[in-house]
Amino acid sequence: MEKITQTNPFKAFAQWLDEAKEAEPDNHNAMTLASINAAGRPSARIVLLKEWDEAGFVFYTNLASRKARDLAASNAVALLFHWKSLERQIRIEGFASPVSDAQADRYFAGRPRASQIGAWASKQSAPMPGGRDEFQAAIEHYEQKFAGGPVPRPPFWSGFRLKPDLFEFWQEEPFRLHHRVIFKPHARGERAPDDWERTILYP
C-alpha cells in the first residue's frame, strides 16, 4: 500500500517534520547539506534548518566558510533529512541564494548571546594555529567589545535559501521494499501551490 499520500511536497514535508519533532526532540531539524566547489569536488556536512516555507529552506553560516565558498562557485545544492527512529528520509535538490540582510538581521537578533559572540569570534573553516586558547581570547575580546549592549550581526555572517526543484520522500520497509515518491515541478512554468508532478519509484 502506498504510504506517502500527499500531493504537495511542502505539506508532506511539514507532516514528516512535525512527526520527527515528536520522535527525535534533539535537533530534528538537522540536515545534510551537500555542495560542490569550483573544481567540481563535492563536500557534505550537517547543518540545522532554521526557517522554511514554500519559498525554500534556510540555513545560516559564516560567509568565509567552506560551504559558503562552494555556494559562491555553484549554487546547486542538495539537502538530506534522515530520521532513523522513523525510518524515513527526505532528499531535496535545488538552487541556493542569499537571504536578505533584513531577514539575516532578524534571525541573528534572536540567537542566544553566546552564539552571537561566537559568530564574531570564529573564523569558520580557517586554521586555528593558536588552538582553543586563541579562540577563547577572541570570544573574550568580543564579549568586552559588546558588553552592555546588543550584539550586531557580523557583516561576514548570513543565510542562504534553497529553492527546491526536486523532493524525494523515502519510507523504509522490511526486506528493502521501501516506499519512494519524488516530486518535480510541472514543466509548464510558474507553479501553483499544488502544481507538482508526483511519481512513485521502485525501491
Give the residue ranges of the annotated binding site for FMN: 45-50, 60-61, 66-67, 89, 124-125, 170, 180
- Find out whether 121 and 142 touch, Cβ atoms under 8 Å: yes
Closest alpha carbon to 28 in 45, 16, 12? 16
Alpha-carbon span 109 to 101, nearest angstrom: 12
Residues forming the annotated binding site for substrate?
50, 107, 111, 115, 176-178
Residue 176 catalytic?
Answer: yes
Strand blocks (E) in the chain: 30-36, 42-48, 51-53, 56-62, 76-83, 88-98, 157-171, 179-185, 196-201
> Which residue numbers belong to the known binding site?
45-50, 60-61, 66-67, 89, 107, 111, 115, 124-125, 170, 176-178, 180
Q: Which one of 88, 132, 161, 176 is the catalytic residue? A: 176
Residue in the block written with cell 534522515: 82
Catalytic residues: 176
